[in-house]
Amino acid sequence: MEFQEVVRRRRMVRNYDPDRPVAAEVRDRILANALRAPSAGFSQGWAFLVLESADERARYWSATADSAEPDPWLADMQRAPLLIVALSHRQAYLDRYAAPDKGWTDKDEARWPVPYWHIDTGFAALLMLLTVVDEGLGACFFGVPPEHIPLLRAAFGVPEEYMPIGTVSIGHRAPDRRSPSLRRGHRPAEDVVHRGHW
């Protein structure tokens, strides 16, 4: 697919055909492309928890969803045959920037203008979303509610150092409900782009 077409077509898809798994080679390409994301100092402080079997996915949803009675959003999202949790690793950045070529040996987080570990993991997630479109599939990036993060860690043995910044559900698209947020429309360039001066 043309790159511009991938960007134009990308949207969050929130319902999937539960009977069509994501082919192994497609899953592997999605992950391989995530690993090509840029990262500060080439730290690559990220990790990806891949959940595919019915049991793994059921454990994800029971750890992260509020009630046994799914709302329409959850009922549709639970049909995704593939979930990839993207996790950022702050310590990898603090350690990387303490190396001689960077020299931030105090490992002080205040040196960082923003938490690049989250940003880089987000870049990787975007590459996954774009690869999914290129493969003709659908995906949605969504957050893990903070109060459920300990349960997610316990369910899958995720170390404390790793923070789930969000999950990407992936599968063959099924008709879904458009997010009401989309009524906001895309913000026009003249509102957000400042040329030469704010």
**Binding positions for ligand FMN, rule: CB under 6 A:** 11-12, 14, 140-143, 166, 179, 181-182
Contact (Cβ atoms closer than 8 angstroms) between residue 81 and residue 22 = yes
- 11/153 with CB nearer ligand FMN: 11
| Eight-class DSSP state of 76 | H
Pairing between β-strand 46-51 and β-strand 138-142 as defined by DSSP bridges:
unpaired
- 130/158 with CB nearer ligand FMN: 130
Shortest gap between Cβ of 196 and ligand FMN (angstroms)? 29
- 67/181 with CB nearer ligand FMN: 181
Shortest gap between Cβ of 173 and ligand FMN (angstroms)? 12
Contact (Cβ atoms closer than 8 angstroms) between residue 96 and residue 103 = no
Shortest gap between Cβ of 104 and ligand FMN (angstroms)? 27
The whole-angstrom separation of Cα 55 and Cα 180 is: 32
Owner of token pair 């990790």: 47
Q: What is the dihedral of CA 151, 154, 157, 162, to 10 degrees?
A: 50
Shortest gap between Cβ of 197 and ligand FMN (angstroms)? 29
The whole-angstrom separation of Cα 123 and Cα 4 is: 18
Residue type, 129: L
- 83/94 with CB nearer ligand FMN: 83
- 97/135 with CB nearer ligand FMN: 135
Shortest gap between Cβ of 28 and ligand FMN (angstroms)? 24
